[in-house]
């Protein structure tokens, strides 16, 4: 029997394929991405991860059992510590101080994407929340795995990024979210699934736009 997450992934095929072929992602793989663009990405991703962590905190609040609460607590911990440590290490090598990173102005797409996720987490159910965050957790693992299969990036800093997001540990967190969403939607109505699909596809589109934002070093027009 086809799982709901399989249906979601199929509907997002075009978006996810475009992400993998985006010049920012390709530049990570072949080492050609200008460092200034990656630096911009790191600072914006730092701001994104702060709100992404808040979304996981809502997961702890909205979970209905201790095991699910504990898992969202782990996701919160992994995001605030493991991923943040990577960012701090990167930023240190780029000469970015913690104060500079924390004082980075939020770009329009980062603002819009995080507002979307927080809105879904605040007003929706746990199921809505999972559908909203899944494209990031799952998508990064798909990208990391695909780039790892292409070979080693000639840029060591980019290779570290690929190694982290293609790791079994990171992939396991996305797998847990997929299994949770499938369990939560076992008896969902068609109307509920349409709403969840909209969350998933909206987040998928924002994932693409995040690469676009970083590549163009997006700023407010006025």
| Residues with active-site annotation | 136, 207
Determine contact, residues 171/141, Cβ cutoff 8 Å.
Answer: yes
Distance CA 13, CA 164 (A): 23
Distance CA 178, CA 215 (A): 29
Structure tokens at 208: 């693409």
Distance CA 53, CA 99 (A): 20
Determine contact, residues 214/24, Cβ cutoff 8 Å.
Answer: yes
Distance CA 13, CA 109 (A): 22
Structure tokens at 10: 């199929």
The enclosing H or E element of 39 equals: helix 35-62
DSSP3 helix / strand / coil % (the chain, rounded to 5): 80, 0, 20
Structure tokens at 86: 């990577």
């Amino acid at each position: 029997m086809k799982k709901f997450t399989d249906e979601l992934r199929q509907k997002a095929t075009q978006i996810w394929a475009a992400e993998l072929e985006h010049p920012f992602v390709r530049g990570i793989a072949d080492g050609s991405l200008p460092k200034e663009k990656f630096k911009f990405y790191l600072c914006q991703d730092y701001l994104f991860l702060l709100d992404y962590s808040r979304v996981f905190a809502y997961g702890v609040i909205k979970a209905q059992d201790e095991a699910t609460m504990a898992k969202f607590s782990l996701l919160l911990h992994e995001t605030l510590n493991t991923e943040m440590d990577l960012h701090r290490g990167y930023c240190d090598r780029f000469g970015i101080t913690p104060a500079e990173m924390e004082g980075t102005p939020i770009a329009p797409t980062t603002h819009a994407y995080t507002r979307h996720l927080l809105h879904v987490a605040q007003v929706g159910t746990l199921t809505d929340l999972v559908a909203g965050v899944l494209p990031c957790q799952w998508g990064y693992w798909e990208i990391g795995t695909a780039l790892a299969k292409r070979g080693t990036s000639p840029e060591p800093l980019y290779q570290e990024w690929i190694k982290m997001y293609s790791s079994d540990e990171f992939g396991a967190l996305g797998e847990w979210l997929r299994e949770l969403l499938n369990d939560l939607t076992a008896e969902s109505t068609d109307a509920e699934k349409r709403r969840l699909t909209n969350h998933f596809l909206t987040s998928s589109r924002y994932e693409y736009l995040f690469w676009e934002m970083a590549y163009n070093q997006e700023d407010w027009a006025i």
